Amino acid sequence: MTETAKQNNRPTSAARGGVRDGAKPGGQQFNDKNRRRSGGGGGRGRTAQAETEFDQKILDLARVTRVMAGGKRMRFRACLAIGNHKGKVAIGLAKGVDVTAAITKAFNQAKKKLIEVPITNGTIPHQVELKFKASHIILKPAQVGHGVRCGGVVRVLAEMAGISDLSGKMLGTNNNVANAKCMMLALADLRQPRTSAKKLAAAKVATQVTEVAGVETVENKAESFTTAQKPRTPRIKPANA
């Protein structure tokens, strides 16, 4: 038998019931690409959780053009605000080839710049006034039930942070990006009201002095009362005197 006949008589891999390279017995292919598709995506759950935790709103969306050597390149710029309505808020500014890419980049950038806003009874703890370039913003605390009485991006960021009562004023410019940055700087400048160390020390010393003085006064009163109530012993003169 010649070599050609021997090769023809050899059983093929399919006839042996074997498996082809990169495939399972059921006919489904199994390679690195499918493994990545089926078992990958471990970090996508964390991203989805972050997206559900923070609410987002677009503050400004514009189409920008850059002149290159080969011509003009058009892209989209998105300014996005995120917040959890519990004191955390941030803004993100990014560009992308399309609107979706720009919003995604802005969201990822905003997550890295979250700040904690101090809130007291639904409002800010004190008045703050801040200027940033052409933007000028004034924020004042308000009573319960007053509501957020300010417009534009100031209102959006205040609601994202969880502030329910606020009086605000925007001066200088109508640029949403500049006003958003100025608002974030104003919120970051807020501080919780606290007593200074000197006042605490003085109050502590005054309390201690009052307590000590009160104890001494009570003891002196007790001694005087005891002395006044003591019966006097009569003196007896000797007979030989």
pLDDT given for residue 235 in this prediction: 63
Task: For residue range 43-84, list pLDDT tens digits in order.
Answer: 555 555 556 789 999 999 999 999 999 899 999 999 999 999
pLDDT given for residue 214 in this prediction: 52
Map 80-94 to HEC letters.
EEEECCCCEEEEEEE
Q: Which two tokens stand for residue 130?
A: 């801040």
| CATH 3.30.160.20 at 53-115, yes or no | yes
Please determine, for residue 30, whether its predicted confidence score (pLDDT) is greater than 80.
no
Q: Which of 1-10, 12-21, 50-59, 198-207 has the lowest mean pLDDT?
A: 12-21
In the chain, residues under CATH classification 3.30.230.10 are 117-188
Place of tokens 């990169």: 22
Task: For residue range 89-147, list pLDDT tens digits in order.
Answer: 999 999 999 999 999 999 999 999 999 999 999 999 999 999 999 999 999 999 999 99
Domain 117-188 -> CATH class: alpha beta
CA-nearest of 46, 177, 187 to 129 is 187
In the chain, residues under CATH classification 3.30.160.20 are 53-115
Distance CA 183, CA 181 (A): 5
